[in-house]
Structure 1
Amino acid sequence: MARENQNQEHKAPDYLAWHVVQKGDKSFWNKVGAAWSHKDAKGYTLQLETMPINGRIVLRLPLEDTSEPSDDAGRA
C-alpha cells in the first residue's frame, strides 16, 4: 500500500474530489482530495485530505486553467 501511495504522488490524479454544500441558490465547492485509477482499470483509489460531515462529494476531471469548478458544475 505504501508503494501505491508513492506512485500516486508522482502521477497526476484522474479526478479531483470536491465537497459541495448547497445553500439556497448557491453551491459552495471545497477541494477535499483526489482519485487515481487502478492499473487494471477496474477501480479507483480515493484519497481524502478531510472528511465532510454534510453535503456531497463530487469527482470531477481536473481543470488545467482554474482551481475550482463553476457553481453549476456537477449539479444533478
Structure 2
Amino acid sequence: MTTESKRPSHEVFHIEGEGKKAFWTKIGGAWSHDDGEGFTISLTCLPLNGRLVVRKPKKDDAR
C-alpha cells in the first residue's frame, strides 16, 4: 500500500494573522514515515505569505 492511499496522520494549515484574529485554512495532509523521523507532505496550494502548521487531526473530526 502506498503512502498516498492511507489517511494522513496530520493535517497541514496555512495561517494568516495572530491570536484570535488568525485565519486557518486547511491546505493539505502529512503522512509520518515508518521510522518516525519525518513526513511526506502533500499540499493543494502553496502560500506566499503567512506560516504553515502541521497538526494531528482532532478526535471529534467526523470523516
TM-score (norm 1): 0.68
Using the TM superposition, give the Cα deviation of residue 40 of structure 1 relative to its aligned residue in structure 2, in angstroms: 1.9
Alpha-carbon separation, structure 1, partners of 2:4 and 2:16: 28
Structure 2, unmatched stretches of 5+, are none
Residues paired across the two proteins, number: 62
Q: 2:46 aligns to what?
A: 51
The percentage of aligned residue pairs carrying the same residue is 42
Give structure 1 stretches of 5+ with no counterpart: 1-5, 68-76
Q: Which fold has the larger relative contact order, with Cα–Cα distance below 8 Å and residues 6 or more apart in sequence?
A: 2
Kindly report the root-mean-square deviation, in angstroms, between the aligned alpha carbons of the 2 structures: 2.2
Query: Aligned partners of 2:9 and 2:2: how far apart in 1?
Result: 13
TM-score of the superposed pair, with normalisation by structure 2: 0.79
Q: CA deviation at 1:41?
A: 1.7
